[in-house]
Structure 1
Amino acid sequence: MGILEHIESPKDIKQLDKNELAKLAAEIRKTIVEVVSTNGGHLASSLGVVELTIALHFVFDVPKDKLIWDVGHQSYAHKLLTGRRDRFHTLRKYEGLSGFTRISESPYDAFSTGHSSTSISAGLGIACAKQLKKQKNKVIAVIGDGSMTAGIAFEGLNQAGDTHKDKDLIVVLNDNDMSITHNVGALSSFLSRKFSAKYLQEWRKDFGEFLKNLPKIGDDVYQFAKRSEESFKAFVTPGMLFEAFNFEYFGPIDGHNLSHLIKIMENIRNINEPVLLHVTTQKGKGYPPAEKNPVYFHGVGSFEVETGVCRGIRSPIPTYTDIFGKTMIKLAEKDQRVVAVTAAMPEGTGLVEFSERFPDRFYDVGIAEQHGVTFAAGMATEGFKPVVAIYSTFLQRGYDQILHDVCLESLPVVFAIDRGGIVGEDGPTHHGLFDFSYLRSIPNMVVMAPKDENELARMMATAISYPGPIALRYPRGKGVGVCLDEDPQPLDIGKAEVLSHGKDILILAIGRCVSDALKAEEILTERGLGVSVVNCRFVKPIDSDLIGRMAAEIPRIITIEEHMLHGGFGSAVLECLADAGVNNCLVSRIGIADTFVGHGPQDLLRSKYRVDSSAIIHAAEELLRKCPLQTETD
């Protein structure tokens, strides 16, 4: 029987000796690899912090001491050690454990996470609250060096340093030289400054002997040099930066040396001012395939443990992300003004090949969406056509920059919004369900969503040719399998596409939901109903002429979107009908109600939250019940 099987809470860890702790680390890694190989998940990050996690729970009294994991994707070992071992096999499964930390899941999760760089600000807030409550518990924020590229991390450091007296805040900087892919920027280079311990030791010894041998003043100078040594090390190592923020700096130390980690944590536990502990770790530690390819194993689907090879057969149908990446290359070949901007996710957004083909026209800004949007705005003022490729959920972080820096002057910035809609197992922090609402309210902005992969390519051509801000939003996963135009042509702005004609029911669909509308139309037609299906293409400007004309003729209308109902596509249709004075029809809106969507397989979630073809059929039945068809005898 293994050690992990006896761990019910962090209290059990404190009873183990050094050898048992090392065995526990190996068992944790084995368990994480086994579960993630089946369920998918963030593997490399969690493997890299196993010893760090054990040391934190060994030294500190969690949950009385508050432990915050930035992003939360590296919290798998933490979950195993805090009473969730028996449920760990449900990780990222529907109604199972979240892939991130959630306050609602465990008292050991001090803060809910999913997006990066929030831990220091949250930790400082908790520390200040503890101070007001006269409580002396520690607050520990674990943040990766990749997350330190975001401005909010330094905003937190800045305030912590300004109000540093009696703040029991410990920031653990997990330095693995990566966020998702390799880090970018001056900060990453600064943190990477390390000196050979052997070289420093030899230099120290030789220089010390030299000072001692100086006539008369040798011993005094030697003692002064020893006192100055730490200052010198701080000046030439990363400690200089953090000490400028009034943090006591320790490190960098080996994040896989349990004994050293425990010893230094026991020392800093007694400091009552902000402390920064800088640890260096290896992403993917202990699993050779992940050590060799930490980018691939950052977030991975199911795979064979022995080889690391992904399970299943790759679909011949390309993903929307694939099509975006290929189309970007075609557009860049034709137009030298086209440049690409992404926020630490060239792989996830499909821009790796573009970065290799056009290295001078590719910009990875790091985990800094606000900066990325304004950076693109600056390029647009000089005549370029920047394409900002960001996941929908992360673009939320740059909302003010979209409004103030791009749309106010109607600058020609293209927003390629990947992962629009329900994304699956990463859950509520990663679904892209708010973009229609927050974009269509901004003046000068055009908002599009393609029904298939070919229309995505055409919308890319549309966006590049458009002289103002424009966004196209597409889902996670493969396309529908249509043929691609050799030379995609731009669409007419604000014009919808009628896919079928009927007089009984009008289905207005946007984006991925057009496929659901066509499935429902086929079933309803078999029942003898006349169904019109419209691929609306544009959320803004919406095709008000077409919708108003068809609504005047068809009294039963269904709108469907994979988006929140509040402020979304269906709301835009209602506004359109109200403005046109159309009031002789019934409208049923299908979308996500006022709730956060949980984690699970995409199709299961679509069924649960009723944004699929079955929901359309049900809505049609309800409309027919309220407004029956007129018979010939009537």
Structure 2
Amino acid sequence: MLEKINQPNDIKNIRPEDYRILAKDIRRFLLQNVSKTGGHLASNLGIVELTMALHLVMDFPKDRLIFDVGHQSYVHKILTGRKEGFKNLRQFHGMSGFPKRKESDCDAFHSGHSSMSLSTALGMAAARDINKTDETIVAVIGDGALSGGMAFEALNNMSRLRQERKNLIIILNDNKMSIAENVGGMSAYLNRVRTQKEYVEFKGNVEQSLSKIPGIGDGLIRVLKKSKDSIKQLFVPGMMFEDMGLTYVGPIDGHDIPNMVSILKRAKQLQEPIIIHVVTKKGKGYIPAEKNPAKFHGIGPFSLKNGEVIGKSNRPSNTKIFSETLLQAATDDPKIMAVTAAMPDGTGLQKFGEVYPERFYDVGIAEEHAVTFCAGMAANGLKPVFAVYSTFLQRGFDQVLHDVAIGNYPVIFGLDRSGLVGADGETHQGIFDIPYLSMIPNVTVMAPVNGKELREMLLFALHHSKGPTAIKYSRGTAESLYEESFEEISFGKGQVLKEGKDVVLLSVGNMLSESVKAIQMLKEKGYDAGLVNPRFVKPLDDKLLDRLAKKYSCIVTVEEGILNGGFGSMVMQYLYSKGYRGKIRNIGIEDQFVEHGSIPELRKMLKIDGENIARSVQKWMEEK
């Protein structure tokens, strides 16, 4: 069947009796390709039939389809003629794992973070009506993403569409999962809806019966429809969506293509916003993914036979070191609390939740709430640790500034995936955390260079933190370089790892290995370079910087982050304000978003790998 899908709308030429064969072919195609490249598998296996139904009803690229987060857009890419791109999925200069407008006109909007689809769709609907065009706009949002506050803000605003009689279709893809199993009130609400399907049939039967009553039947039906306490209100607790101005349909089987096609065609004709509640199974069609959808949410290359990841390192990851250290510390300190935003597995906090369930909080996809929730605990004497991906804490910037930093509450942020993360691309690169955190008063930012230092920094923060503290660590295997040279951590103090004569490199966190390579290359060129581990990005170690300024005529900072507002700019500002007359040069990422690819490839492209660092330093040393 897939041989017949080569461009947008080709699916309309498939006979209805062949839909199941096509769905099976798509799942086989996904498994064969994602097992080689890695990617988001379980969510795409679960959305096959739903995406097919959307493509059978919609007309691309005229109509607009917005995927919340966007990691479940693989099937959409297949059906819009991008099969060949899967050979290089998420590879350097290859096809993105997320929707990209520059990749295809059929991708209506770039995405990567959660809970954005409803606001985007509402904006597109407003533009459609102003421009007097007639495209259909559909937003596909998961039940996990619906727990995000931004989605509720959009729902609240959406009631205006009903008043103005404007069409907008929202697909609630309910698979009981985000990355991990969903938690909270919204999840409980949808669970009650799923288990009370009978209200749909009951409502229809009541209306049919009433209509047969001579003289008064039709009037009673009109009263029921107008009443806020309608049949739906009686049988579905709260009927939240209808109360917010949305026509609600469901729940329906998300793997029943003919039924979904029928409902979508009717939804297109409505002159009001409608939410279609679709129940799907995450990981459907591949038993290992069905049994463990969290593992297969985002996975590297794996064996199709048993589902095991290929080439997995035996050395501990930074995530594991952080989570195990936190768990050990919690044994002796009952005030330590662990918080995650729907990512207990990704941040390593799953075990903490099993051992100390009363001290573990998964708040759902709600980073803003998580930050202020931690502030409330810290204000009353607890020690909250919020483990979160660097790129996702951006969503809680206002809360870090206003709710945590102004009160100077000792909240600890474990910034996982800080720096380049590779295959997920622009939306997930953790390269902005130094600028956005360092600008906030009272915030301490620490960057360990190896696994031992990460462990000791977390313990130091737990025992000595007087205010908000962020510890930024990279994705993947923990570094072991210079672990034997570890010195006890002292607040705001860096460590000289190697003395030199000609130039010194101040290497932040996970850039240590590249800096070591550069120093070796510089040695071969006749330059004796020193190496410093700043440890603290903020506050700067003023005394150490003063000493380096007296010894070296060239000081180079190295960081895997945006230069604008980064560590290097802070060092430069300080030293020049003190009258330093030597050269200060900064190595980092220029003002840009960084595409997907392996970390070595991206570092080389950005000229922050060892070879390019050495080349840049040599050039600066030769300048008059």
- Deviation at residue 409 of structure 1 after TM alignment: 1.0
Distance 1:170 1:21 in 2: 23
Instruction: Name the counterpart of 1:46.
Output: 44
Identity of aligned pairs, percent? Answer: 46
Instruction: Name the counterpart of 1:531.
Output: 529
Distance 2:222 2:165 in 1: 30
Distance 2:329 2:414 in 1: 14
- Deviation at residue 166 of structure 1 after TM alignment: 3.2
Q: Does residue 586 of structure 1 match 2:583?
A: yes
* Equivalent position amino acid for 1:620 in 2: V
Is this contact kept in 1: 2:371–2:399, CA < 8 A? Answer: yes
User: Residue 266 and residue 463 in structure 1: after superposition, are their counterparts in 2 closer, same or farther (change >3 A)?
Assistant: same
* Equivalent position amino acid for 2:389 in 1: Y
- Deviation at residue 221 of structure 1 after TM alignment: 8.3
Q: Which runs of 5+ in 2 are unaligned?
A: none
User: Residue 423 and residue 455 in structure 1: after superposition, are their counterparts in 2 closer, same or farther (change >3 A)?
Assistant: same
Is this contact kept in 1: 2:199–2:232, CA < 8 A? Answer: no
User: Residue 260 and residue 618 in structure 1: after superposition, are their counterparts in 2 closer, same or farther (change >3 A)?
Assistant: same
Is this contact kept in 1: 2:39–2:90, CA < 8 A? Answer: yes
Is this contact kept in 2: 1:454–1:482, CA < 8 A? Answer: no
User: Residue 238 and residue 94 in structure 1: after superposition, are their counterparts in 2 closer, same or farther (change >3 A)?
Assistant: farther
2:616 alignment partner, one of 605, 614, 619: 619
- Aligned to 1:427, the other structure's residue is in SS state coil
Instruction: Name the counterpart of 2:165.
Output: 166
* Equivalent position amino acid for 1:51 in 2: E
Distance 2:547 2:123 in 1: 55
Distance 1:542 1:206 in 2: 72
**Structure 1 residues 394-433: aligned runs within 5 Å:** 394-433=392-431
Q: Does residue 316 of structure 1 match 2:314?
A: yes
Q: Spell out, residue by residue over 1:225-251, the C-alpha distance to the aligned partner (whole angstroms, 9 max, x if none).
A: 899599323443378111111111111
1:493 alignment partner, one of 491, 494, 502: 491
- Aligned to 2:252, the other structure's residue is in SS state strand
Distance 1:201 1:51 in 2: 23
- Deviation at residue 490 of structure 1 after TM alignment: 6.5
* Equivalent position amino acid for 1:411 in 2: Y
Q: Which runs of 5+ in 1 are unaligned?
A: 628-634
Instruction: Name the counterpart of 1:461.
Output: 459
Q: Spell out, residue by residue over 1:610-631, the C-alpha distance to the aligned partner (whole angstroms, 9 max, x if none).
A: 112112211221122114xxxx
Instruction: Name the counterpart of 1:276.
Output: 275
Q: Spell out, residue by residue over 1:254-300, the C-alpha distance to the aligned partner (whole angstroms, 9 max, x if none).
A: 00000100011111110021111110000011111111111111111
- Aligned to 2:398, the other structure's residue is in SS state helix
**Structure 1 residues 283-362: aligned runs within 5 Å:** 283-312=282-311, 314-362=312-360
Q: Does residue 598 of structure 1 match 2:590?
A: no
Distance 1:310 1:551 in 2: 48
Distance 1:83 1:287 in 2: 24
- Aligned to 1:193, the other structure's residue is in SS state helix
User: Residue 207 and residue 51 in structure 1: after superposition, are their counterparts in 2 closer, same or farther (change >3 A)?
Assistant: closer
Q: Spell out, residue by residue over 1:177-230, the C-alpha distance to the aligned partner (whole angstroms, 9 max, x if none).
A: 111100010110001114668977998999999x99xxx999978995899599
- Deviation at residue 104 of structure 1 after TM alignment: 1.0
Taking structure 2 as the reference length, the TM-score comes to 0.94
- Aligned to 2:504, the other structure's residue is in SS state strand
Is this contact kept in 1: 2:387–2:413, CA < 8 A? Answer: yes
2:501 alignment partner, one of 500, 503, 509: 503
Distance 2:268 2:204 in 1: 32
Is this contact kept in 2: 1:560–1:590, CA < 8 A? Answer: yes
User: Residue 207 and residue 273 in structure 1: after superposition, are their counterparts in 2 closer, same or farther (change >3 A)?
Assistant: closer
* Equivalent position amino acid for 1:92 in 2: R
Is this contact kept in 1: 2:203–2:232, CA < 8 A? Answer: no
Is this contact kept in 1: 2:284–2:290, CA < 8 A? Answer: yes
Is this contact kept in 2: 1:590–1:615, CA < 8 A? Answer: no
User: Residue 195 and residue 274 in structure 1: after superposition, are their counterparts in 2 closer, same or farther (change >3 A)?
Assistant: closer
* Equivalent position amino acid for 1:283 in 2: K
1:13 alignment partner, one of 11, 14, 17: 11
Distance 2:588 2:511 in 1: 10
User: Residue 201 and residue 544 in structure 1: after superposition, are their counterparts in 2 closer, same or farther (change >3 A)?
Assistant: closer
Q: Which moved more, 1:147-156 or 1:615-624?
A: 615-624
Distance 2:510 2:584 in 1: 20
Q: Which moved more, 1:233-242 or 1:506-515?
A: 233-242
Distance 1:253 1:227 in 2: 27
- Deviation at residue 388 of structure 1 after TM alignment: 0.8
Q: Which moved more, 1:371-380 or 1:298-307?
A: 298-307
Distance 1:109 1:566 in 2: 31
User: Residue 82 and residue 133 in structure 1: after superposition, are their counterparts in 2 closer, same or farther (change >3 A)?
Assistant: same
- Aligned to 1:140, the other structure's residue is in SS state strand
Distance 2:204 2:144 in 1: 36
2:28 alignment partner, one of 21, 27, 30: 30
Is this contact kept in 2: 1:462–1:489, CA < 8 A? Answer: no
Distance 1:366 1:234 in 2: 27
- Aligned to 1:598, the other structure's residue is in SS state coil
Q: Which moved more, 1:617-626 or 1:221-230?
A: 221-230
Q: Does residue 4 of structure 1 match 2:33?
A: no
Instruction: Name the counterpart of 1:632.
Output: none
Instruction: Name the counterpart of 2:556.
Output: 558
Is this contact kept in 1: 2:519–2:529, CA < 8 A? Answer: yes
User: Residue 169 and residue 540 in structure 1: after superposition, are their counterparts in 2 closer, same or farther (change >3 A)?
Assistant: same
Distance 1:201 1:565 in 2: 57
Instruction: Name the counterpart of 1:368.
Output: 366
Aligned length: 617
Distance 2:200 2:610 in 1: 70
- Deviation at residue 528 of structure 1 after TM alignment: 3.5
- Aligned to 1:512, the other structure's residue is in SS state helix
Is this contact kept in 1: 2:161–2:272, CA < 8 A? Answer: no
User: Residue 171 and residue 239 in structure 1: after superposition, are their counterparts in 2 closer, same or farther (change >3 A)?
Assistant: farther
Distance 1:360 1:436 in 2: 33
Instruction: Name the counterpart of 1:56.
Output: 54
Distance 1:405 1:424 in 2: 32
Is this contact kept in 2: 1:317–1:480, CA < 8 A? Answer: no
User: Residue 279 and residue 493 in structure 1: after superposition, are their counterparts in 2 closer, same or farther (change >3 A)?
Assistant: same
